[in-house]
Amino acid sequence: MKRRNQVFALTLALGLGLFIGSVAMAQGGAANVAGTWTLTMTGQRGTFEQTLKLEQKGDAVTGTITGRMGETPVKGSVKGDALTFSVTRETPRGTFTMDYKATVSGDTMKGTAGNERFSLDFTGKRAAGGQ
């Protein structure tokens, strides 16, 4: 009987610990992505860089991305270590949208950018002191 009570107490404690940990992760587990990032990607025209400036409030992300096509607003979200945002630009050929998806780890990120026609891999590095 004593052994059964010990096993029950241990199981209850482990279950409670897992529950509390999952609640804490759900409430405050979003990666910090605020700051200035340099994104590097390679396309048909070679390797190029873009500057991504992000502000973060909870899991909502806003900012700008600057590159060969000028500066454009971005809007997205971060859930855990997954960052997603979209960039919509007006071009002589019409409206052009790129969807970015990345996994963030500290001051680095790695992901893909693209739309229904193509996809490019990219890496990102946050500027020092950019958090």
DSSP per residue, 23-86: HHHHHH------EEEEEEEEETTEEEEEEEEEEEETTEEEEEEEETTEEEEEEEEEETTEEEEE
Is residue 89 one of the residues assigned to a domain?
Answer: yes
Q: Could you tell me the pTM of the whole model?
A: 0.74
Supply 97's token pair.
């949208």
Q: Based on the domain organization, do 25 and 41 belong to the same domain?
A: no
**99 against 22, higher pLDDT:** 99
Q: How many CA atoms lie within 13 A of 24 on its CB side?
A: 6
Looking at residue 5, its pLDDT comes to 58
Q: pLDDT tens digits, residue range 18-53?
A: 344 333 344 458 899 999 999 999 888 889 999 999
Is residue 131 one of the residues assigned to a domain?
Answer: no
Supply 50's token pair.
């873009």
**Residue 24 domain boundaries:** 1-30
Query: 122 with 103: CB under 8 angstroms?
Result: no
Q: Based on the domain organization, do 104 and 60 belong to the same domain?
A: yes
Q: Based on the domain organization, do 43 and 26 belong to the same domain?
A: no
Number of domains present in the structure of the chain: 2
Is residue 52 one of the residues assigned to a domain?
Answer: yes
